[in-house]
Amino acid sequence: MAKPATGRIVILIIHTSTATRGISAQLGRPEYSYRFVLAEFRPLLDELGIVIEVGDPQHEVDPIYHGCVRHGEPCVFLCFMPPNKVPIGLACPTIPVFAWEYETLPNEAFGGKPRNDWTRVLTRLGAALTHSSFTVDRTRAALGPDFPVASVPAPLWDRMQPLREPMRHPVVLPIAGLVIDSRRTDLSVYRKRLLLAALPDILPLPENAHEYQGSITLQGVLYTAIFNPHDSRKNWLEMISAFCDGLREKADATLLLKLTHHDPTDLIPEMLEIVYKMGPMACRVLLVHSYLQKDDYDTLLRATTYALNTSLGEGQCLPLMEYMSAGKPAVAPRHTAMLDYVNPDNAFIIDSSDEPGTWPHDQRQAFRTLRQRIHYQSLVKAYRRSYHVARHEPGVYAAMSAAATDSLRRYCSIETVQPILRRFIFDQLDAHAATASDDSHVDHA
């Protein structure tokens, strides 16, 4: 039985919508990433109190809560979900734990659903946890400066420290899945005219996509990006084209796109069309669709030279946080959640600026917010400069690696996150107890 440092025992009920079992088949589905976030928090929560995970919060949370009340035990429900999916009206104090990466919180009941107005839901719940100072600022801008909200990023830094030593190249990476190598693929099959002519069907994948006999060889300067290709925020069109544009003559430069979706085959032809239209090049593009076991995932990380992100907005970005915690400098923009840990000392910064955006769950796709537009030439420049440093300035690269590790330690280590999380939870429990006491006095009167 865990006891927090305060000496108080607290019951922590937790929930997210994606089950641990069969997670590889859930990649890319709505809210799938919240399962990974919860997994990072679980050891820390186990230290703070007694953790009970529920599958049906609407029916399971309050019976547990009422049992705690009878025994005089404080209890709180942490729901790792977007606010519009968090149960409201429970007797148990409920704290949503959510990510957000746009300038404005949803403040309209679109689609005839009042819960789509996050400001209404958060006001009803009375408190929230999120993962960046950017989202804290956006929440307080919508709900007032006194709204109880704190930034608690996934505490993954400590877990990544054994992986700080890079691997000597070449590295053989086991793959049980699909690999498409730009050097071994007839890209002309995927030119735009043929893509359009095939509609509404999708062009088949290259015949050699499964001919790697279980492994690929990685060497040279390796840029790794891990993302869901169906997530429009990830901006993979410019990620690919700028790489080909900036490093086309560098035969030892590789862009590896690790696709985290249960079935990305409908978008792969479009990705190959982007590579094709960039013309002849010596650099290499690898598309990998495979659920990597931990040891293989760690091998890819250690073989990587740079963590890559070209997104239009991030709620925290677990892969980038993992890689930078392990000492991989980044090629990334400095906006939204990345403002907290990406800086010129640990990354080649990609310039960006505001542009109109939409809330991702708004079926109208009406312009109601802002997102960040990546500056293409700045991305090309970042590729070129980072390649030069990796090849010719080992001292600069080592300093950037150390800065990445230190920056992420200050952002998402257990030492940083634990006291913030503990203080916030107990502050909300005390506030809830005070409100309940006031209500009982009123009822008695």
How does the average pLDDT of the chain come out, rounded? 92
pLDDT at 32: 76
Query: Is 217 found in the same domain as 125?
Result: no
Looking at residues 100-107, what average pLDDT do you find?
97
pLDDT-based confidence at residue 157 (cuts at 50, 70, 90): very high
Select from 289, 286, 278 the least CA-distant residue to 303: 286
- DSSP letters, 353-397, are EEEEEE-TT-TT--EEEEEEEE-HHHHHHHHHHHHHHHHH-HHHH
Residue percentage of the chain with pLDDT more than 90: 83
Asked if the model's pLDDT at residue 440 lies above 80, the reply is no
List, in order, residues 6 or more apart from 109 with CB less than 8 Å away.
115, 116, 117, 120
pLDDT at 113: 93
CB neighbour burial string for 18-34, b if at least 16 within 10 angstroms, e if fewer: beeeeeeebbbeebbbb
List, in order, residues 6 or more apart from 41 with CB less than 8 Å away.
80, 97, 154, 155
Asked if the model's pLDDT at residue 4 lies above 50, the reply is no
Looking at residues 356-372, what average pLDDT do you find?
94
pLDDT at 6: 47
Query: Is 392 found in the same domain as 285?
Result: yes
- CATH (domain of 56): 3.40.50
**383 in any annotated domain:** yes
> Which DSSP helix (H) or strand (E) runs through 289?
strand 284-289
Asked if the model's pLDDT at residue 65 lies above 60, the reply is yes
Number of domains comprising the chain: 2
Asked if the model's pLDDT at residue 111 lies above 80, the reply is yes
Query: Is 380 found in the same domain as 247?
Result: yes
Tell me the β-bridge partners of 256. 224, 286
The model's pLDDT over 225-251, given as tens digits with 9 standing for 90+, comes to 999 999 989 999 999 999 999 999 999
- Report the 10 Å Cβ neighbour count for 113: 10
Structure tokens at 408: 């992420």
pLDDT-based confidence at residue 214 (cuts at 50, 70, 90): confident
pLDDT at 432: 86
The model's pLDDT over 310-355, given as tens digits with 9 standing for 90+, comes to 999 999 999 999 999 999 999 999 999 999 999 999 999 999 999 9
Handedness of CA 290, 383, 405, 252 (dihedral sign): positive
Query: Is 247 found in the same domain as 134?
Result: no
Q: How far is CA 429 from the centre of its chain?
A: 29
pLDDT at 445: 38
Q: Are residues 314 and 101 in contact, defined by beta-carbon separation less than 8 angstroms?
A: yes
Structure tokens at 248: 């086309």
**172 in any annotated domain:** yes
Q: Which residue has the higher pLDDT, 227 or 214?
A: 227
Asked if the model's pLDDT at residue 305 lies above 80, the reply is yes
Q: How far apart are CA 403 and CA 407, in angstroms?
A: 6
How many C-alpha atoms does 422 have within 13 Å on its Cβ side?
18
Query: Is 282 found in the same domain as 260?
Result: yes
Handedness of CA 252, 257, 258, 264 (dihedral sign): negative
**445 in any annotated domain:** no
**439 in any annotated domain:** no
Q: How far apart are CA 432 and CA 426, in angstroms?
A: 10
Phi, psi at residue 344, to the nearest 5°? -65, -20
DSSP letter at 332 equals E
pLDDT at 291: 86
What's the one-letter identity of residue 175? I
Q: Is the pTM of this model over 0.75?
A: yes
**6 in any annotated domain:** no
Residue written as token pair 């909200």: 149
Query: Is 39 found in the same domain as 161?
Result: no
Select from 240, 239, 241, 289 the least CA-distant residue to 264: 289
Select from 348, 169, 338, 182 the least CA-distant residue to 256: 182
pLDDT at 209: 76
pLDDT at 7: 57
pLDDT at 215: 87
Structure tokens at 111: 């689609």
pLDDT at 433: 82
**440 in any annotated domain:** no
pLDDT at 435: 76
Identify the domain containing residue 350 by its residue range.
Answer: 157-412
The model's pLDDT over 164-184, given as tens digits with 9 standing for 90+, comes to 999 999 999 998 889 999 999
pLDDT at 362: 92
Query: Is 47 found in the same domain as 73?
Result: yes
Q: How far apart are CA 167 and CA 407, in angstroms?
A: 22
Query: Is 29 found in the same domain as 116?
Result: yes
Residue percentage of the chain with pLDDT more than 70: 92
pLDDT at 30: 54
- CATH (domain of 302): 3.40.50.2000
Asked if the model's pLDDT at residue 212 lies above 50, the reply is yes
**CA angle, residues 151, 152, 155, in degrees to nearest 5:** 150
The model's pLDDT over 252-269, given as tens digits with 9 standing for 90+, comes to 999 999 999 888 889 999
Asked if the model's pLDDT at residue 77 lies above 90, the reply is yes
pLDDT at 327: 98
List, in order, residues 6 or more apart from 13 with CB less than 8 Å away.
52, 53, 54, 57, 60, 61, 64, 65, 75, 76, 77, 78, 92
Q: Are residues 323 and 308 in contact, defined by beta-carbon separation less than 8 angstroms?
A: no
**CA angle, residues 401, 406, 411, in degrees to nearest 5:** 125
Query: Is 66 found in the same domain as 146?
Result: yes
Query: Is 371 found in the same domain as 316?
Result: yes
**438 in any annotated domain:** no
**195 in any annotated domain:** yes
The model's pLDDT over 398-430, given as tens digits with 9 standing for 90+, comes to 999 999 999 999 999 999 999 999 999 999 999
Q: Are residues 220 and 253 in contact, defined by beta-carbon separation less than 8 angstroms?
A: yes
Query: Is 325 found in the same domain as 244?
Result: yes
The model's pLDDT over 263-292, given as tens digits with 9 standing for 90+, comes to 888 999 999 999 999 999 999 999 999 889
Query: Is 148 found in the same domain as 218?
Result: no
